[in-house]
Amino acid sequence: MTDKQKKQITGSEVLIKCLENQEVEYAFGIPGGVLIPIFDKLVNSKIKFILTRHEQGAIHMADGYARVTGKPGVAIATSGPGATNLVTGIMTAHMDSIPIVIITGQVVTPLLGKDAFQEADIIGITMPIVKHSYLVKNVNDIPRIIKEAFYIASTGRPGPVLVDIPKDVSTDIFAADMDQEMDIPGYKVPAKGDKKDIERMAGILKGSKKPLLLVGHGSVISSAEKEVKALAEKLRAPVVSTLLGKGGFPESHDLSLGMLGMHGTAYANKALINCDLILSIGSRWDDRINGNTEEFCIGAKKLHIDIDEAEIGKIVKADSYVVGDAKLVLRDLIKLIEPLDTSEWLKECEYYKKQFPLKYDNSKGLTIPYIIDEIYHLTKGKAIVCTDVGQNQMWSAQFYKIDDGKDWYSSGGAGTMGCGFPAAVGAQFGRPKDIVVAICGDGGFQMTIQELSTMAIHKLPVKVFVMDNKYLGMVRQWQELFFDNRLSGVDLLGNPDFVKVAEGYGIKGININDVKHARARIKEALDYKGPVLIHCEVHKEYNVFPMIPAGKSAFHMMIDPPKAKK
């Protein structure tokens, strides 16, 4: 050990140095009593700490940052309620396989398990929703643990890793080497797929006349966009995506059919019904695209590429599968396949596009899909789009075509209302030169509205579109369609004047309440150099179609609203 290393340093100093070694640029969070020693060492750190107004905002910002940069996000919160306020965002990241390292403060080790002030067993609470977690009891373990945390979070199938640090550990004197080896027994990261499995998959592909590629989030995480495009073009196969797979294949491409599933395009779901083979690349066949497994792609061969072996056969029994990194597996697969005769199949899919286009009707008032369509054309598809959850999310997925998967943020598995706006803030920190658009419903936006302060303080030029239909719109839609319009608990009576709220934070506010002026005001917002909130007063009872009812297959797709009963 050198003289420099022998200099007494505390656990807090070691922690900050380890985070700097991981090239952490930003950390999002809120301090607290047990974190003060750590925050004291943040003062002179290279890490920029972003003080949020709620821990939920912090974890969603870390999530948004991670998705658009491909680097792990970092969130910091104090013990007890600070840590538990992160739980929703941790679950969101876990369900969507997002690399986040969470640092939580904890009471001193002698008080663990004794219900001390602001003690919470955050390890136990979050165990089902993290990829891994650590309770640090020895200051000398910090370098190894932080190195492992970032490695585990970002390799294989990514996910959140939590590191819980008692206050006395953060103040203890460090007496070990900073450069420590990782020790992760049993943790193996799948890479290249098995050669025989790939050859078998290639052989099955050769027999297809009506192939369909299903692009999931795994392909985006793997950065396999070039390989997916090369495979689709070589096979001449149409491509559909999951909600989180948007951009894994460019949606402006002629072979793209857009998103499939519950609120996917009608032509994507028609192709799903009629294909003779479907190859899932990093998709887990979840219930939003496969509401009824017995009626899913009847008679079609089902092929599956996934880095997580636990997903193989979990929902759909595959005729052939390969476990491995999508990018590497596709590189090997492409070498083994030849172009297929899909001319008739492509004509069929083109017919579906023309016969069942996406559409909206502004005749009875301003609609959300119209606004999103205008945003798409005015940004020329080059913005980072962060959606909240609900109707706004589904219309965004339908009408904003994504050509790069890292330009898209949406909560898939968890469906977390309130995530979209803070995620956009995190995305803007991660890619400050890009246009970032947050598309939120009036319900979800109010769950994390206080982060307008974070956006204002840092002068982040996020364009926040609040779609105000004065309802929890998706729940209202289901109540209308399936519960005889017995509305219950969905009326957002008492919505504030969102423009005044924005102005109260020092943010420019713009109001849109008619079709005539909508395009000009959307352009004004997009051209504005600073943060701006655009309040969109939209049709109150406009519904998202197409729609596949819950538990049903694509055979039961509702393309248009049902006719009113006489």
What is the domain partition of the chain in residue ranges?
3-174, 195-355, 368-545
Q: How is residue 244 written in tokens?
A: 């989180």
Which residues are marked as active site?
Answer: 55, 117-118, 167, 474
Predicted confidence (pLDDT) per residue in 315-358, tens digit: 999 999 999 999 999 999 999 999 999 999 999 999 999 999 99
SS3 content of the chain, % helix, strand, coil (to 5): 40, 15, 40
**CATH superfamily, domain at 195-355:** TPP-binding domain (3.40.50.1220)
Cα 293 to Cα 314, 325, 410, 470: the distances in Å are 11, 26, 25, 36
Give the residue with greater pLDDT, 155 vs 6: 155
Q: Please, are residues 509 and 498 in contact by the beta-carbon 8 Å criterion? A: yes
Other C-beta atoms closer than 10 Å to the C-beta of 195 total: 11
Q: What is the mean pLDDT of residues 261-273?
A: 98
Which pLDDT value is given to residue 537?
A: 98
Q: Please, are residues 170 and 11 in contact by the beta-carbon 8 Å criterion? A: yes
**CATH superfamily, domain at 3-174:** Thiamin diphosphate (ThDP)-binding fold, Pyr/PP domains (3.40.50.970)
Q: Domain 368-545's class?
A: alpha beta
Q: How many CA atoms lie within 13 A of 239 on its CB side?
A: 29
Q: Please, are residues 172 and 9 in contact by the beta-carbon 8 Å criterion? A: no
Position 390: which residue type? G
Q: Please, are residues 192 and 329 in contact by the beta-carbon 8 Å criterion? A: yes
Confidence band (pLDDT; 50, 70, 90) for 563?
confident
Residue 131: pLDDT above 50?
Answer: yes
* 3-174 and 368-545: identical CATH topology: yes
In DSSP terms, which residues pair with 48 in a beta bridge?
A: 26
Which pLDDT value is given to residue 7?
A: 76
Q: What is the mean pLDDT of residues 143-169?
A: 98
Residue 458: pLDDT above 60?
Answer: yes
pLDDT above 90 covers a percentage of the chain that reads 98
**Distance in angstroms (rounded) separating the CA atoms of residues 162 and 100:** 8
The predicted model scores a pTM of: 0.96
Dihedral of alpha carbons 309, 311, 317, 323, sign:
negative
Which pLDDT value is given to residue 1?
A: 44
Confidence band (pLDDT; 50, 70, 90) for 564?
low
Residues in contact with 346: Cβ distance below 8 Å, sequence separation at least 6, in sequence order: 236, 238, 255
Q: Is residue 215 classed exposed, middle or buried when 0-12, 13-18 and 19+ CB atoms within 10 A define those classes?
A: buried
Q: What is the mean pLDDT of residues 189-198?
A: 96
Strands 100-106 and 73-77: parallel
Q: Is residue 404 classed exposed, middle or buried when 0-12, 13-18 and 19+ CB atoms within 10 A define those classes?
A: middle
Q: How many CA atoms lie within 13 A of 131 on its CB side?
A: 28
Nearest in space to 335 (alpha carbons), one of 504, 131, 198: 198
Which pLDDT value is given to residue 534?
A: 98
